[in-house]
Structure 1
Protein backbone atom coordinates (compact mmCIF):
# COMPACT_ATOMS: atom_id res chain seq x y z
CA UNK A 1 0.00 0.00 0.00
CA UNK A 2 1.36 3.45 -0.90
CA UNK A 3 2.28 5.79 1.92
CA UNK A 4 0.15 8.92 2.25
CA UNK A 5 1.64 12.07 0.75
CA UNK A 6 2.42 14.60 3.50
CA UNK A 7 0.78 18.00 3.35
CA UNK A 8 2.96 21.07 2.77
CA UNK A 9 2.69 21.90 6.49
CA UNK A 10 3.67 18.35 7.52
CA UNK A 11 6.62 18.39 5.12
CA UNK A 12 7.87 21.72 6.51
CA UNK A 13 7.39 20.47 10.09
CA UNK A 14 9.45 17.35 9.25
CA UNK A 15 12.23 19.55 7.85
CA UNK A 16 12.18 21.81 10.90
CA UNK A 17 12.48 18.76 13.13
CA UNK A 18 15.53 17.62 11.12
CA UNK A 19 17.10 21.08 11.43
CA UNK A 20 16.38 21.13 15.18
CA UNK A 21 18.32 17.87 15.51
CA UNK A 22 21.50 19.57 14.21
CA UNK A 23 23.32 21.12 17.20
CA UNK A 24 25.50 23.34 14.97
CA UNK A 25 22.47 24.75 13.16
CA UNK A 26 20.88 25.50 16.53
CA UNK A 27 24.07 27.20 17.72
CA UNK A 28 24.00 29.51 14.70
CA UNK A 29 20.24 30.14 14.89
CA UNK A 30 19.29 28.77 11.45
CA UNK A 31 15.60 28.80 10.48
CA UNK A 32 13.90 26.64 7.85
CA UNK A 33 11.36 28.98 6.25
CA UNK A 34 10.21 26.96 3.22
CA UNK A 35 10.48 23.35 2.13
CA UNK A 36 9.09 21.32 -0.75
CA UNK A 37 10.57 18.21 -2.35
CA UNK A 38 13.80 19.42 -3.92
CA UNK A 39 13.34 23.09 -2.95
CA UNK A 40 14.35 24.83 0.28
CA UNK A 41 14.76 28.24 1.88
CA UNK A 42 17.00 28.44 4.93
CA UNK A 43 17.57 31.70 6.80
CA UNK A 44 20.02 32.87 9.42
CA UNK A 45 19.79 36.05 11.48
CA UNK A 46 23.12 37.82 11.05
CA UNK A 47 24.50 38.61 14.50
CA UNK A 48 27.79 40.26 15.38
CA UNK A 49 29.19 36.87 16.44
CA UNK A 50 28.90 35.61 12.85
CA UNK A 51 30.97 38.42 11.30
CA UNK A 52 34.62 38.52 10.35
CA UNK A 53 37.03 41.36 11.15
CA UNK A 54 35.75 43.65 8.36
CA UNK A 55 32.13 43.45 9.53
CA UNK A 56 30.89 41.03 6.82
CA UNK A 57 29.33 37.63 7.35
CA UNK A 58 32.18 35.17 7.77
CA UNK A 59 32.74 33.04 4.66
CA UNK A 60 32.29 29.92 6.77
CA UNK A 61 28.81 31.11 7.75
CA UNK A 62 27.85 31.61 4.10
CA UNK A 63 29.36 28.22 3.32
CA UNK A 64 27.43 26.52 6.14
CA UNK A 65 24.17 28.03 4.93
CA UNK A 66 24.77 26.96 1.31
CA UNK A 67 25.89 23.46 2.33
CA UNK A 68 22.87 22.85 4.54
CA UNK A 69 20.43 24.26 1.98
CA UNK A 70 21.95 22.09 -0.77
CA UNK A 71 21.64 19.02 1.44
CA UNK A 72 18.00 19.73 2.32
CA UNK A 73 17.19 20.21 -1.36
CA UNK A 74 18.91 16.98 -2.36
CA UNK A 75 17.59 14.94 0.53
CA UNK A 76 13.99 15.99 0.03
CA UNK A 77 14.26 15.36 -3.72
CA UNK A 78 15.58 11.81 -3.19
CA UNK A 79 13.53 11.19 -0.01
CA UNK A 80 16.33 9.23 1.65
CA UNK A 81 18.99 10.08 4.26
CA UNK A 82 21.82 12.00 2.57
CA UNK A 83 25.15 13.75 3.08
CA UNK A 84 27.01 16.31 1.02
CA UNK A 85 29.53 14.58 -1.23
CA UNK A 86 31.04 17.85 -2.49
CA UNK A 87 30.20 21.47 -3.09
CA UNK A 88 31.76 24.64 -4.39
CA UNK A 89 30.91 28.19 -3.54
CA UNK A 90 31.59 31.49 -5.25
CA UNK A 91 31.56 34.53 -2.99
CA UNK A 92 30.21 37.44 -5.03
CA UNK A 93 29.96 40.30 -2.53
CA UNK A 94 30.16 40.78 1.21
CA UNK A 95 27.23 39.48 3.25
CA UNK A 96 26.04 42.59 5.05
CA UNK A 97 22.65 43.09 6.66
CA UNK A 98 20.21 41.71 9.16
CA UNK A 99 19.77 38.22 7.74
CA UNK A 100 21.15 35.70 5.26
CA UNK A 101 18.78 33.73 3.04
CA UNK A 102 19.79 30.58 1.15
CA UNK A 103 17.52 29.21 -1.58
CA UNK A 104 18.46 25.85 -3.04
CA UNK A 105 16.89 23.48 -5.52
CA UNK A 106 17.62 20.08 -6.96
CA UNK A 107 18.78 20.40 -10.57
CA UNK A 108 19.25 16.71 -11.41
CA UNK A 109 17.88 13.90 -9.24
CA UNK A 110 19.34 10.42 -9.46
CA UNK A 111 19.02 7.28 -7.34
CA UNK A 112 22.32 7.62 -5.52
CA UNK A 113 23.12 11.30 -5.93
CA UNK A 114 21.54 14.62 -6.76
CA UNK A 115 23.11 17.82 -8.07
CA UNK A 116 21.75 21.00 -6.48
CA UNK A 117 22.28 24.74 -6.85
CA UNK A 118 21.99 27.45 -4.23
CA UNK A 119 21.92 31.23 -4.07
CA UNK A 120 22.72 33.04 -0.83
CA UNK A 121 21.35 36.54 -0.30
CA UNK A 122 22.02 39.15 2.35
CA UNK A 123 18.90 41.02 3.45
CA UNK A 124 19.50 44.66 4.36
CA UNK A 125 16.80 47.31 4.70
CA UNK A 126 14.24 45.00 3.01
CA UNK A 127 16.48 44.56 -0.07
CA UNK A 128 18.08 41.24 -1.01
CA UNK A 129 21.58 41.26 -2.49
CA UNK A 130 23.10 38.12 -3.97
CA UNK A 131 26.33 37.43 -2.13
CA UNK A 132 27.18 33.80 -3.02
CA UNK A 133 26.31 31.00 -5.43
CA UNK A 134 26.99 27.34 -4.68
CA UNK A 135 26.58 24.00 -6.40
CA UNK A 136 26.86 20.60 -4.78
CA UNK A 137 26.46 16.88 -5.13
CA UNK A 138 24.30 15.29 -2.48
CA UNK A 139 24.76 11.54 -1.96
CA UNK A 140 22.37 8.99 -0.54
CA UNK A 141 23.69 7.27 2.57
CA UNK A 142 24.09 3.52 2.13
CA UNK A 143 21.43 1.43 3.82
CA UNK A 144 22.56 0.12 7.19
CA UNK A 145 23.39 -3.55 7.18
CA UNK A 146 21.07 -5.50 9.39
CA UNK A 147 22.73 -7.84 11.92
Structure 2
Protein backbone atom coordinates (compact mmCIF):
# COMPACT_ATOMS: atom_id res chain seq x y z
CA UNK A 1 0.00 0.00 0.00
CA UNK A 2 1.24 3.48 -0.63
CA UNK A 3 1.31 6.91 0.89
CA UNK A 4 -1.43 7.74 3.41
CA UNK A 5 -0.54 11.43 3.06
CA UNK A 6 -2.23 11.47 -0.35
CA UNK A 7 -5.59 13.20 -0.63
CA UNK A 8 -8.59 11.02 0.30
CA UNK A 9 -9.56 10.82 -3.39
CA UNK A 10 -6.04 9.82 -4.46
CA UNK A 11 -5.83 7.25 -1.66
CA UNK A 12 -9.14 5.68 -2.74
CA UNK A 13 -7.99 5.68 -6.37
CA UNK A 14 -4.75 3.92 -5.37
CA UNK A 15 -6.82 1.27 -3.60
CA UNK A 16 -9.05 0.82 -6.64
CA UNK A 17 -6.00 0.34 -8.85
CA UNK A 18 -4.80 -2.44 -6.55
CA UNK A 19 -8.24 -4.09 -6.63
CA UNK A 20 -8.25 -3.89 -10.44
CA UNK A 21 -5.01 -5.94 -10.47
CA UNK A 22 -6.76 -8.82 -8.66
CA UNK A 23 -8.38 -11.01 -11.33
CA UNK A 24 -10.48 -12.91 -8.77
CA UNK A 25 -11.89 -9.67 -7.37
CA UNK A 26 -12.83 -8.64 -10.89
CA UNK A 27 -14.46 -12.01 -11.54
CA UNK A 28 -16.65 -11.57 -8.46
CA UNK A 29 -17.40 -7.90 -9.19
CA UNK A 30 -15.97 -6.42 -5.98
CA UNK A 31 -16.07 -2.63 -5.60
CA UNK A 32 -13.90 -0.53 -3.29
CA UNK A 33 -16.24 2.19 -1.99
CA UNK A 34 -14.23 3.75 0.86
CA UNK A 35 -10.59 3.69 1.93
CA UNK A 36 -8.53 5.55 4.48
CA UNK A 37 -5.46 4.45 6.43
CA UNK A 38 -6.52 1.43 8.48
CA UNK A 39 -10.16 1.42 7.31
CA UNK A 40 -11.97 0.11 4.26
CA UNK A 41 -15.36 -0.62 2.78
CA UNK A 42 -15.72 -3.21 0.03
CA UNK A 43 -19.00 -4.05 -1.67
CA UNK A 44 -20.15 -6.88 -3.88
CA UNK A 45 -23.38 -7.10 -5.89
CA UNK A 46 -24.93 -10.46 -5.05
CA UNK A 47 -25.61 -12.25 -8.34
CA UNK A 48 -27.17 -15.71 -8.67
CA UNK A 49 -23.76 -17.14 -9.65
CA UNK A 50 -22.43 -16.24 -6.19
CA UNK A 51 -25.18 -18.03 -4.26
CA UNK A 52 -25.41 -21.55 -2.95
CA UNK A 53 -28.33 -23.99 -3.26
CA UNK A 54 -30.47 -22.30 -0.56
CA UNK A 55 -30.31 -18.93 -2.32
CA UNK A 56 -27.93 -17.03 -0.07
CA UNK A 57 -24.34 -15.98 -0.68
CA UNK A 58 -21.90 -18.86 -0.71
CA UNK A 59 -19.69 -18.90 2.38
CA UNK A 60 -16.61 -18.66 0.17
CA UNK A 61 -17.90 -15.38 -1.27
CA UNK A 62 -18.53 -13.93 2.20
CA UNK A 63 -15.11 -15.19 3.29
CA UNK A 64 -13.40 -13.63 0.25
CA UNK A 65 -14.95 -10.25 1.03
CA UNK A 66 -13.86 -10.40 4.69
CA UNK A 67 -10.33 -11.54 3.79
CA UNK A 68 -9.81 -8.79 1.22
CA UNK A 69 -11.24 -6.11 3.53
CA UNK A 70 -8.99 -7.25 6.40
CA UNK A 71 -5.96 -7.09 4.12
CA UNK A 72 -6.80 -3.59 2.90
CA UNK A 73 -7.28 -2.38 6.48
CA UNK A 74 -4.01 -3.90 7.69
CA UNK A 75 -2.05 -2.92 4.59
CA UNK A 76 -3.13 0.70 4.62
CA UNK A 77 -2.38 0.90 8.35
CA UNK A 78 1.13 -0.54 7.86
CA UNK A 79 1.88 1.34 4.60
CA UNK A 80 3.80 -1.62 3.12
CA UNK A 81 2.93 -4.53 0.81
CA UNK A 82 1.10 -7.20 2.85
CA UNK A 83 -0.62 -10.57 2.74
CA UNK A 84 -3.06 -12.29 5.05
CA UNK A 85 -1.31 -14.60 7.51
CA UNK A 86 -4.51 -15.97 9.04
CA UNK A 87 -8.13 -15.09 9.65
CA UNK A 88 -11.17 -16.48 11.39
CA UNK A 89 -14.76 -15.90 10.36
CA UNK A 90 -18.06 -16.43 12.13
CA UNK A 91 -21.14 -16.65 9.95
CA UNK A 92 -23.93 -15.24 12.11
CA UNK A 93 -26.84 -15.40 9.65
CA UNK A 94 -27.41 -16.32 6.00
CA UNK A 95 -26.29 -13.58 3.62
CA UNK A 96 -29.54 -12.83 1.81
CA UNK A 97 -29.90 -9.67 -0.20
CA UNK A 98 -28.90 -7.66 -3.24
CA UNK A 99 -25.42 -6.68 -2.07
CA UNK A 100 -22.76 -7.54 0.48
CA UNK A 101 -20.81 -4.83 2.31
CA UNK A 102 -17.62 -5.50 4.27
CA UNK A 103 -16.21 -2.88 6.62
CA UNK A 104 -12.83 -3.53 8.22
CA UNK A 105 -10.46 -1.59 10.41
CA UNK A 106 -6.99 -2.22 11.76
CA UNK A 107 -7.15 -2.60 15.54
CA UNK A 108 -3.47 -3.13 16.46
CA UNK A 109 -0.62 -2.36 14.09
CA UNK A 110 3.14 -2.79 14.43
CA UNK A 111 6.08 -2.94 12.03
CA UNK A 112 5.60 -6.60 11.07
CA UNK A 113 1.86 -7.18 11.39
CA UNK A 114 -1.58 -5.69 11.86
CA UNK A 115 -4.59 -7.31 13.48
CA UNK A 116 -7.85 -6.22 11.87
CA UNK A 117 -11.56 -6.84 12.39
CA UNK A 118 -14.31 -6.96 9.79
CA UNK A 119 -18.09 -6.95 9.73
CA UNK A 120 -19.91 -8.23 6.65
CA UNK A 121 -23.48 -7.12 6.02
CA UNK A 122 -26.12 -8.34 3.59
CA UNK A 123 -28.14 -5.44 2.17
CA UNK A 124 -31.76 -5.66 1.03
CA UNK A 125 -33.56 -2.50 -0.10
CA UNK A 126 -31.01 -0.38 1.76
CA UNK A 127 -31.36 -2.28 5.05
CA UNK A 128 -28.13 -3.86 6.36
CA UNK A 129 -28.12 -7.08 8.38
CA UNK A 130 -24.94 -8.42 9.92
CA UNK A 131 -24.10 -11.80 8.40
CA UNK A 132 -20.46 -12.40 9.40
CA UNK A 133 -17.69 -11.24 11.71
CA UNK A 134 -14.01 -11.83 10.98
CA UNK A 135 -10.63 -11.11 12.52
CA UNK A 136 -7.27 -11.60 10.89
CA UNK A 137 -3.55 -11.04 11.06
CA UNK A 138 -2.04 -9.15 8.15
CA UNK A 139 1.74 -9.37 7.72
CA UNK A 140 4.41 -7.48 5.84
CA UNK A 141 5.22 -9.21 2.56
CA UNK A 142 8.71 -10.62 3.01
CA UNK A 143 11.68 -10.45 0.66
CA UNK A 144 11.00 -13.99 -0.54
CA UNK A 145 7.21 -13.41 -0.83
Residues 121-132 of structure 1 aligned to structure 2 (within 5 Å)? 121-132=121-132
Partner of 1:73: 73
Normalised to the residue count of structure 1, the TM-score between the two structures is: 0.94
Runs of 5+ consecutive residues of structure 2 not aligned to the other structure = none
Change (3 A) 1:92 1:4: closer
| CA distance in structure 1 between the partners assigned to 2:104 and 2:120 by the alignment | 9
| CA distance in structure 1 between the partners assigned to 2:14 and 2:125 by the alignment | 31
Q: Would you identify which runs of 4 or more consecutive aligned residues in structure 1 move more than 2 Å?
A: none
The alpha carbon displacement at 1:142 in A equals: 1.4
Runs of 5+ consecutive residues of structure 1 not aligned to the other structure = none
| CA distance in structure 2 between the partners assigned to 1:138 and 1:4 by the alignment | 18
RMSD of aligned alpha carbons: 1.4
The alpha carbon displacement at 1:126 in A equals: 1.1
| CA distance in structure 2 between the partners assigned to 1:9 and 1:71 by the alignment | 20
SS of aligned partner of 2:49? helix
| CA distance in structure 1 between the partners assigned to 2:141 and 2:131 by the alignment | 31
